[in-house]
A = this chain, B = another copy of it.
Amino acid sequence: MTALWQRQPVGIVGLGLIGGSLGLDLRARGATVRALVHRQATADRAVERGLVTEVSTDPAVLGDCGLVVLALPLDRLLDPAPALLDALPAAAVITDVGSVKAPVLQAWTRLLGPGRARCFVASHPMAGTAQAGVEAGVAGLFQGRPWVATPAEDTDPSALAAVAELAGAVGADWLTCDAADHDRAVALISHLPVLVSAALLQAADRGGKAMGHAPEPPGRAGEAPGRADAAGPGGRDSAGPELARLVRSLASSGFADTTRVGGGNPELGTLMARCNREALLAALVQYRRALVDLEHLVAGEAWPELQASLAEAQRLRPEFL
């Protein structure tokens, strides 16, 4: 018995990183891929890049699809165009790729109505790069990455199986869980890190300005001219221009790694926070507790205890990777 994605065309709504990558992989496996996009320029480029079999800005392109993947940003997913809703084939299995699941499940259950919502499978392929847009799609993006589905009580088992087969076809590791659990998990391991990391960038910037010691004499003589000194005294920030330059000169690969997600797309970070606010706030409570505990150990000069706490972190990390 062949899978649904093999028997009927697969519809993809949106050809950004996820939609485009999915199109590439599915076509490579022999699927017919019909895509709906917003702009004609995107449609033209998608054809040039070979992302799809057929693409249009007219929702009618989805007409004969057996399975439709809504590869839209979360905000558009939560508030879809009426024309899109009207164009979804009545018998099609519908899935999404949103990174927060409870609001999507709730919105689409309401939008589709109780009967048709049985064929909606809320899902989240957890794969990505820093790229976006129609140029971003790459082959093999999902290979070995989790593809999480969060079925509701009345989700049709055959609809769920059809999406699992799609995920399997592109090499993803399929798993299912409760939508609220998914959202709590991504709050901890995906959305919290964005804030933790952004705050580090801001602290390094503000600390570089605030922690300088401009009033004191430099207390130096005879040194060779150095990069950090090159701009001389009296730089752009009177509170500590030298330190502000120095932190920028000395930041290393550790700082680069720790700040990568915090320096990412601000629209995306905000959207995640907005759509997963409660779980993110709960994650922040956990985080502040852990950080304050560490701070107390440093303030109290409790070095053996600090070392034990850092050893716990060292032991934990491989469990997550």
A interface residues, Cβ below 8 angstroms from B: 126, 128, 145-146, 148-149, 151-157, 160-161, 164, 173-178, 180-182, 184-190, 192-208, 210-213, 218-229, 242-243, 246-252, 254-267, 269-270, 273-274, 277, 279-284, 286-291, 293-295, 298-299, 301, 303, 306-314, 316-321
Contacts and interface: CB of A to CB of B under 8 A. Distances in A.
Given A152-B220, A257-B260, A266 B307 contact: yes
A250 B186 CA distance: 7
Given A196-B291, A320-B255, A210 B250 contact: no
Contact of A316 (B153, B202, B265): B202
B290 A291 contact: no
B229 A176 contact: yes
Contacts of A294: 195, 198-199
Contact of A258 (B260, B277, B281): B260
Given A160-B223, A184-B243, A266-B307, 18 more contacts: A126-B250, A151-B223, A174-B224, A175-B226, A175-B249, A189-B250, A189-B252, A190-B252, A192-B203, A193-B255, A198-B294, A201-B313, A205-B316, A259-B320, A270-B307, A270-B310, A274-B303, A284-B295
Contact of A161 (B196, B224, B243, B281): B224
Nearest to A243: B181
Contacts of A288: 291, 295
Contacts of A188: 203-204, 207-208, 211, 247
Which of A189, A286, A291 has the most C-beta atoms of chain B within 10 angstroms of its own C-beta?
A: A189
B226 A211 contact: no
Contacts of A243: 181, 184-185
B207 A309 contact: no
Integer count of this chain's copies in the complex = 2
Which of A223, A226, A274, A288 has the most C-beta atoms of chain B within 10 angstroms of its own C-beta?
A: A223
Contacts of A306: 269-270, 273
Contacts of A229: 175-177
A263 B228 contact: no
A153 to B, nearest CB: 5
Contact of A310 (B161, B198, B222, B247): B198
26 contacts: A128-B252, A151-B221, A154-B221, A156-B222, A157-B222, A175-B226, A176-B220, A177-B229, A186-B250, A189-B250, A192-B200, A193-B200, A197-B258, A198-B310, A198-B313, A203-B283, A203-B290, A248-B319, A251-B320, A256-B320, A263-B314, A263-B318, A266-B307, A269-B306, A284-B291, A288-B291
Nearest to A186: B250
Contacts of A208: 185, 188
A235 to B, nearest CB: 13
B248 A320 contact: yes
Contacts of A181: 212-213, 242-243, 246
Contacts of A252: 126, 128, 145, 189-190
